[in-house]
Amino acid sequence: MNYIERQITRQKRIRQIKTGGLILLFLILGILAIVGIFSLIDPIGGTDVSVIRIEGTMVTGEARSGGYIGSEYIGSQIRKAADDSLTQAIVLRIDSGGGTPAAAQEIIRDIIYAKERKPVVVSMGDIATSGAYYIAAYADRIYSNYDTMTGGIGVIWIFYDTSDQLRKEGLEIDVVKSGEMKDMTHPYRGLTSEEEDVAQDLVDASFNRLFTDISSQRNITRDSIEDARVIRGEQALEIGLVDEIGNLQDAIAGARELARSR
């Protein structure tokens, strides 16, 4: 074999090695893709579950720090999971003492949106009271621990009166207002009897809305919750506020079960 023939043979071998290397690379990438897909699926045939954490006091907006969580942020996460074709169920992991009624109502709208597309399950952590229970009531199934603090279903409006302290410090405040009750929430004076009546009417109306919404989702009586007491998860199960005793993993398994049955 002369020099030219040896070079041709050498080039052929190099091309064969490169071709074989590319085929091996594609095989490896294919295997990794298959493993990635199956890692999203429960080995016994379950479905992918999106866990969304709701931690802190709920307020309207996009807050995600300082002990607050915003309804717009939570809602965007819920709707993103609802529209994701790979997500077959959603678990809301709640650790919250509640928040504003308006924030809860905004989140509920997003939960309803998600429920039209896939199951939504709640897993309660240390606490899920007041407004946090309000949103939980709209889930398809609620899990809590035996000693999760839940309930606390009610409305509260706190007024501060610092007028005595201001007088002791020799401070006087002049107010120019368009209506007699415009400054009823300010702490430099107490409420008048008329203002107390107005405040009570507002609180009562808000609670009536709260109870009406919750009772539309859960088979509970007004007598069982209207004192707004905090209830342990074990007792909440007995009176119908929650469905199951279990942790986050139990809730995920329950969400998969609901997704399979649809």
Q: Do 247 and 119 lie in a common domain?
A: yes
* Given the residues 163, 182, 206, 261, the one annotated as active site: 182
What residues form DSSP beta bridges with 57?
Answer: 68
Q: Do 83 and 159 lie in a common domain?
A: no
* Residue range 231-242, pLDDT digits in tens: 999 999 999 999
- Within a domain: 133: yes
Q: What's CA 185's distance to the chain center, in Å?
A: 30
CB atoms < 10 A from the CB of 229, how many?
Answer: 13
Q: Do 131 and 245 lie in a common domain?
A: yes
What mean pLDDT is predicted for residues 17-41?
54
pLDDT at 69: 98
- Within a domain: 71: yes
Three-state SS string over 175-197 comes to CCCCCCCCCCCCCCCCCCHHHHH
Domain that holds residue 140: 49-152+229-261
- As a whole number, the mean pLDDT across the chain is 88
8-state DSSP, 223: G
* Residue range 159-212, pLDDT digits in tens: 999 999 999 999 999 999 999 999 999 999 999 999 999 999 999 999 999 999
Q: Quick one: which of 229, 72, 70, 53 has its CA closest to 124?
A: 53
> Residue 8: which pLDDT band, with cuts at 50, 70 and 90?
low
* Given the residues 130, 163, 168, 177, the one annotated as active site: 130
Q: Do 133 and 252 lie in a common domain?
A: yes
Q: Do 58 and 142 lie in a common domain?
A: yes
The answer to whether the beta carbons of residues 87 and 49 sit under 8 Å apart is yes
Q: Quick one: which of 243, 232, 213 has its CA closest to 151?
A: 232
- Per the annotation, the verdict on 18 as an active-site residue is no
User: How many structural domains comprise the chain?
Assistant: 2
* Residue range 85-141, pLDDT digits in tens: 999 999 999 999 999 999 999 999 999 999 999 999 999 999 999 999 999 999 999
- Within a domain: 29: no
The string over 146-181, giving b where at least 16 C-beta atoms fall within 10 Å of a residue's C-beta and e elsewhere, is: eebbbbbbbbeeeeeeeeeeeeeeeeeeeeeeeeee
Q: Do 215 and 249 lie in a common domain?
A: no
Cα angle 206, 91, 135; round to 5: 0
- Within a domain: 24: no
pLDDT at 20: 58
- Per the annotation, the verdict on 12 as an active-site residue is no
- Within a domain: 217: yes
CB atoms < 10 A from the CB of 140, how many?
Answer: 19
Residue 144, token pair as written in the block: 């809590």
- Within a domain: 30: no
Q: Do 132 and 172 lie in a common domain?
A: no
- Within a domain: 192: yes
Q: Do 159 and 142 lie in a common domain?
A: no
Residue 106, token pair as written in the block: 């905004």
- Within a domain: 191: yes
The answer to whether the beta carbons of residues 154 and 130 sit under 8 Å apart is yes
pLDDT at 31 over 90: no
The larger pLDDT score, comparing residue 88 to residue 35, is at: 88
Q: Give the up-direction half-sphere exposure of residue 136: CA atoms within 13 A in the CB hemisphere.
A: 34
Separation of first and last alpha carbons in the chain: 72
What is the Cα–Cα distance from 102 to 119, expressed in whole angstroms?
24
Q: Do 211 and 119 lie in a common domain?
A: no
Q: Do 167 and 80 lie in a common domain?
A: no
Q: Do 234 and 140 lie in a common domain?
A: yes
CATH at 144 = 3.90.226.10
Q: Do 53 and 104 lie in a common domain?
A: yes
pLDDT at 46 over 50: no
- H or E element: which one contains 5? helix 3-39
What is the Cα–Cα distance from 168 to 91, expressed in whole angstroms?
54
